[in-house]
């Protein structure tokens, strides 16, 4: 069972698969906790000395991605399996997620299908031969991300609309997708070996559709049925309205995650 003291790690893994929120106040060294299996990474770059360096980076990234999937499915010494992800309780405000005026309490949350993420495309191209910098682009998605909460309590004002209520909830995100663009510097040292340095990160989040069965909206179950239909259009519209803020928020999280991982890699 994961408690709020592990929330940063939880949200980091969610973001790596798709995207969600991560309270900035929680400080956890993610690279240390995930303990990426260097054997898996090394198997991805068995002949690294004879390959172009962009292939070396691509091999490292594929190794990390598959190790991440393994951690989500099976856990490790520090983290329990995260699919399903179980959260006892979490409280979020607009200081934690980029949605003005939101106040959200969740209890008894279960999120499934985190490990079903699909990497649709990965490319590594040389950006600067002299500086040995590479442009990395990764496109990934999850076919369906499902979440159930035994109890929620929400109050949010956005786009001229106020939403409040309390009850139980089921939410389905259909084809949430994340596109990541990174500028990576590769260094080769005879003594220290290969190292990677993340210079820039830009992330873009997209959502194909949103479905919900949320009871107790406006504290009225009859109104809830109507609101659930309304949310199918409202949520994607809100994501577009706050696209810049959301993508900047995600980009910062992804940059911190990948930087921590690169700093702790021993290639």
Q: What are the residue ranges spanned by the domains of the chain?
A: 4-264
What tokens appear for 80 in the block? 């329990």
Please state, in angstroms and as integers, the Cα–Cα distance from residue 216 to each residue in 129, 220, 230, following that order: 59, 5, 15
- The DSSP call for residue 2 is B
- pLDDT digits over 127-157, tens only? 887 778 899 999 999 999 999 999 999 988 7
Give the fold, CATH level 3, of 4-264.
Bactericidal permeability-increasing protein; domain 1 (3.15.10)
The reply to whether omega before 84 is within 30° of 0 (cis) is yes
Q: pTM (2 decimals)?
A: 0.72
- pLDDT digits over 6-40, tens only? 444 444 444 444 433 333 333 334 444 555 555 54
Residue 30 main-chain phi, psi, to 5 deg:
-65, -40
3-class secondary structure, 158: strand
Residue with tokens 């939410």: 171
* End-to-end alpha carbon distance in the chain: 33
Residue 148 CA to residue 6 CA, distance in Å, equals 19
What tokens appear for 19 in the block? 């995207």
Higher per-residue pLDDT: 162 or 64: 64
- pLDDT digits over 66-101, tens only? 988 998 999 888 888 999 999 999 998 888 876 777
Average pLDDT over residues 106-113: 95
Residue-level pLDDT at 18 = 43
């Amino acid at each position: 069972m994961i408690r709020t003291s592990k929330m940063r790690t939880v949200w980091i893994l969610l973001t790596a698969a798709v995207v969600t929120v991560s309270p900035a106040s929680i400080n956890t060294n993610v690279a240390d906790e995930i303990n990426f299996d260097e054997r898996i990474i090394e198997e991805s770059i068995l002949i690294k000395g004879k390959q172009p360096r962009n292939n070396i980076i691509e091999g490292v990234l594929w190794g990390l991605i598959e190790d991440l999937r393994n951690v989500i499915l099976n856990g490790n010494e520090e983290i329990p399996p995260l699919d399903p992800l179980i959260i006892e309780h979490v409280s979020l405000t607009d200081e934690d997620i980029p949605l003005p005026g939101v106040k959200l309490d969740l209890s008894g949350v279960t999120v499934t299908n985190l490990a079903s993420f699909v990497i649709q495309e990965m490319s590594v191209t040389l950006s600067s031969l002299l500086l040995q910098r590479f442009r990395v682009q990764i496109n990934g998605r999850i076919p369906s991300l499902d979440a159930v909460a035994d109890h929620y309590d929400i109050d949010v004002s956005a786009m001229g609309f106020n939403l409040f209520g309390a009850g139980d909830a089921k939410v389905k995100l259909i084809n949430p997708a994340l596109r990541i663009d990174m500028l990576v510097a590769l260094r080769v040292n005879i003594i220290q070996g290969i190292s990677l340095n993340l210079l820039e990160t830009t992330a873009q989040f997209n959502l194909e559709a949103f479905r919900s069965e949320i009871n107790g909206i406006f504290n009225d179950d009859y109104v809830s049925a109507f609101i659930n239909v309304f949310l199918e259009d409202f949520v994607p519209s809100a994501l577009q309205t706050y696209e810049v803020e959301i993508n900047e928020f995600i980009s910062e999280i992804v940059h911190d995650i990948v930087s921590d991982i690169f700093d702790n890699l021993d290639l």
